[in-house]
Amino acid sequence: MTKKAKLSCRFFKINEVNIAKLVEMHSIFTRFYENADLSTFIKDMSEKKGVMILKNRTTGRIVGFSTYNEIELEHRGQRAIGVFSGDTIVEPEYWGDKTMHTAFAVKMLKAKLMRPTTPMFWLLISKGYKTYLLMANNFQRFYPRRDRHDHEMEALTEQYCQKLYPSYYRQEEQILDFGDGYHALKDNVADITPRMRASNEDIRFFEQRNPEWRRGTELPCVSEIAFSTIGHFFGKLVRSTLGIRNRKAKKPSRMAHSTCVLWPKV
């Protein structure tokens, strides 16, 4: 069994990202998306506050990234912060690794500690089921979800869509439609099989809410960033790490070990 590469993840402000990094990230982006020209990629990146960059520590090569932005929202009559994640890409060889997710959770913890009384929400738009599962599997309060309707979270979703993408928001369906020229997932990426539809209610719900996802339509989502949510993630991370160590201790070293994935592959 090939030993897994060690990864590192660091947040860069957008003015710290040079053209070489942009080109390297774009080369990863084009592996997964159609209509992904470099000029549009750079323009989209320039509108963000920063980016989380995932690197192979041995080679120094970028193997994934997630864009980051913050906007002001209003919640229950007071100022709130919306943390917006745009494109999140990780090369297939590193799917299942939790380095980026842990770095994001640490960044959210620091942001929450700086403004402990300010409501904070994670805003994401999902053109594929993996991004939706990232939220559904790890957040305690989120929207939309299959088992309950949260009017407050629905209002926040409406608010940020009208603020960020008023021309592309199909309000009745609660879908963002950027048109046929928008970057869409390639045909061999994150497909939904009949078996997946039958076995996973959340995947089935995502496809019901975003039936044109293959064309590139986005399902806008929101989840609450609370101390309890961050603690829940780190608790799962510790239990997973301890579980893997225990399994390694019990199994002969020549055998391959499975990894417990807390977050869906991105």
Enumerate the domain spans of the chain.
Answer: 7-250
d(CA 135, CA 211): 19
**pLDDT at residue 141 tops 50:** yes
- What is the DSSP code string of 139-152? -SSEES-SS---HH
Q: CB-hemisphere CA count at 13 Å for 40?
A: 11
Dump pLDDT digits (tens) for 201-243: 999 999 999 999 888 899 999 999 988 888 877 777 777 666 6
Provide the 3-class DSSP secondary structure of residue 19. helix
- The pLDDT of residue 30 is 86
d(CA 146, CA 136): 10
Tell me the pTM. Answer: 0.81
- The pLDDT of residue 21 is 95
Dihedral angle computed from the Cα positions of residues 134, 139, 144 and 149, in that order, rounded to the nearest 10 degrees: 160
Quote the percentage of the chain above a pLDDT of 90: 53
- The pLDDT of residue 1 is 34
**pLDDT at residue 255 tops 80:** no
Dump pLDDT digits (tens) for 15-62: 999 999 999 999 998 888 776 788 888 988 998 999 999 999 999 999
Dump pLDDT digits (tens) for 79-131: 999 999 877 888 888 888 889 988 988 898 898 999 999 999 999 998 888 88
- The pLDDT of residue 183 is 62
d(CA 121, CA 39): 30
- The pLDDT of residue 92 is 86
Dump pLDDT digits (tens) for 145-159: 999 999 999 999 999
Radius of gyration over every alpha carbon of the chain, rounded to an integer in angstroms: 19
Higher-confidence residue of 248 and 91: namely 91
Q: What is the largest CA-CA distance in the chain?
A: 59
Classified by CATH at the fold level, domain 7-250 comes out as: Aminopeptidase (3.40.630)
- The pLDDT of residue 241 is 62
Query: Which helix (H) or strand (E) element contains residue 215?
Result: none
Report which residue type is found at 68: Y
pLDDT category at 246 given cuts 50, 70, 90 is low
Dump pLDDT digits (tens) for 155-204: 999 999 999 999 999 999 999 998 876 665 555 566 788 999 999 999 99
Report which residue type is found at 172: E
pLDDT category at 249 given cuts 50, 70, 90 is low
Higher-confidence residue of 263 and 46: namely 46
